[in-house]
Amino acid sequence: MQNVVKLYVPSSLKNLSIIRAMTKTYLEHHNVNAEDVMKILSIVDELATNVVEHGYEYKTGDIIIELQKNDDIIHLVVEDNGVGFDEEKISKDEGGMGIFLARAMADNFKIEKKINGTKIKVEKKIREGV
């Protein structure tokens, strides 16, 4: 059974609700418990907001979201084709708090720099809902 969903959403703060709704629906469809749903939604919110603010600097572009459930792991990818991740801007004053929070909530967190943009891969161990 193919259980991957991939969404391309125009980079805009107003579209974050679409990403959140799609993510929540996917997780609930796969019977993820409510506490884990909230953690994954927080991760996707932080990372997608970073794409809008830092990846595209509020300019046009796509936020690419990919979700996949394998057994008790949710694989989340948040990707952009923007300016790229700047490791120098990891301080809380310069917008690094979102990355810090997302990394803290994830079980596995990897930032991949691309020629244009950034791909962040997250794994979160989940429990099924009751």
**What per-residue confidence (pLDDT) applies to 85?**
78
Q: How many domains does the chain have?
A: 1
pLDDT score at 102 = 93
Q: Which residues contact 48 (CB under 8 A, 6 or more apart)?
A: 16, 19, 63, 65, 78
Cβ-Cβ contacts under 8 Å for 20 (sequence gap 6 or more): 41, 44, 45
CATH of the domain at 98: 3.30.565.10
The answer for 71, left when phi > 0, alpha when psi is -120 to 50, beta otherwise, is left
1-58 pLDDT, tens digit each: 468 999 999 999 999 999 999 999 999 999 999 999 999 999 999 999 999 999 999 9
pLDDT in tens, 69-126: 999 999 999 999 999 877 666 555 555 678 889 999 999 999 999 999 999 999 999 9
User: Residue 87 has what pLDDT?
Assistant: 67
Angle at which helices 97-105 and 34-50 cross, to 10°: 150
Domain residues for 68? 4-125
Domain assignment present for 130? no
